[in-house]
Chains A and B, each alone.
Chain A
């Protein structure tokens, strides 16, 4: 009954809408047809432009990002590094490259002999890892950041999660991630960065996922940058949950420089090699020719021309 009554009402409303639409059209048309008696033109948007940039005189900046696997009570800066990512940024071209170093890579650690690169931080802190990276790639990191498991969880949580691409199906540590883009909580981001069981190339793929997390984190932060004060909030949390050799001014400028990078111009690479043994220890023997070629390729512009 009610429905039967509602039909004419809808028709009347529809007719009213049509009338209003027609009236609106006529009004717009009256504005559209130039009136010879009207001397004053309407306002018109004739130009619109946007630009952005930062002081990029430093050239390519190299950042060594380390994830310490310190357990509660252990010193973050003197524990093994679970994640090792060398990140090159060129603000002038808005390009970046992340070079993942598998944690089991058997390398020379200057002053300490040869060992897995993740042991370098236990020998001489972040500086020893930076030295090992420099000896390996010929690229000396300008800045070193170290965060811990809780640090990563807090940082990601404080910006309400980050989005990153999952390459391979993952089912480990109580989580399952299907291939594709995911929004990770802090805890999920940590697991995504740590899972290697079930990945086709184990530690190599895990290192690749860590690079994807950095790339996704950049895109996530950029997407929120329009909110007033977001950058200051994010950099404040970053300062709180990382150890770095930067002063606050350097950190602020570096943060703004990183955010000049276009995520579409971020290339995620992993140093390649083969799994082998030193004694009973399973290690990765890096392909020194490939490492040298990639390092030379990206050294001056953080852009990968020859593949990785």
Chain B
């Protein structure tokens, strides 16, 4: 009832109330029937444009031969890309970020898998509190973690550098891996483990020969996602990076001083493209041998795994 009322009200406002009454009625009738059908898709498309439109325009304008981003297209160029790679600050920021993420990812996967196994497969008195403590870095805002780390490192007289960034990224990244791997372990059919134990396998043999082969895709995907979380982290990096600039901090400070903007366009486009590829790799890893047959099951598995 109300729905039709709304639709016709919208239709009326679209056609213009008070226009020629004879001509209006069929149009509004058609609109009233069409609106509920098309409102959803239009809304969804508008939403996706809101999320991705700016990034697409960023990519397009990174090829624009002009120092400002204004509409008259000044011609195609790739010179911002060559300039971006010639920028030594940017190169060292990218290198730092990649080095940090390459250390953070495997360490997070190991720590996250250890804790996920303990929480989902072992019984001990402090299991509940342990699980809560392991999830705590996910709840406390990065700003607070960042400044507490800044104070902490100064108290223990540890100089800020990319090393301290690695330490703090591990703290906030491995709990996410714990969540991913726990989800996978909880879905795993326990009868396989029980069968192995009945056949005389020790608990460590069960892990080695039953659980790990099953976990490989989830672990690989966790590594990729951990890499991207570390690479993208701005707040913590900002506070504990010291004089070592990492990529997000480089973008932030370059924008604050508003110099060299076209190369920010170029490198942002490249980084975003690389991230899309990484996520695609994670998608392939998670859905590989997951037992999901159709595209629908694959996507379900993927979204279930990384939420």
- Interaction A to B: no
Which residue numbers of B lie inside 8 Å of A, CB to CB?
Answer: none
Interface residues of A (CB under 8 A from B): none
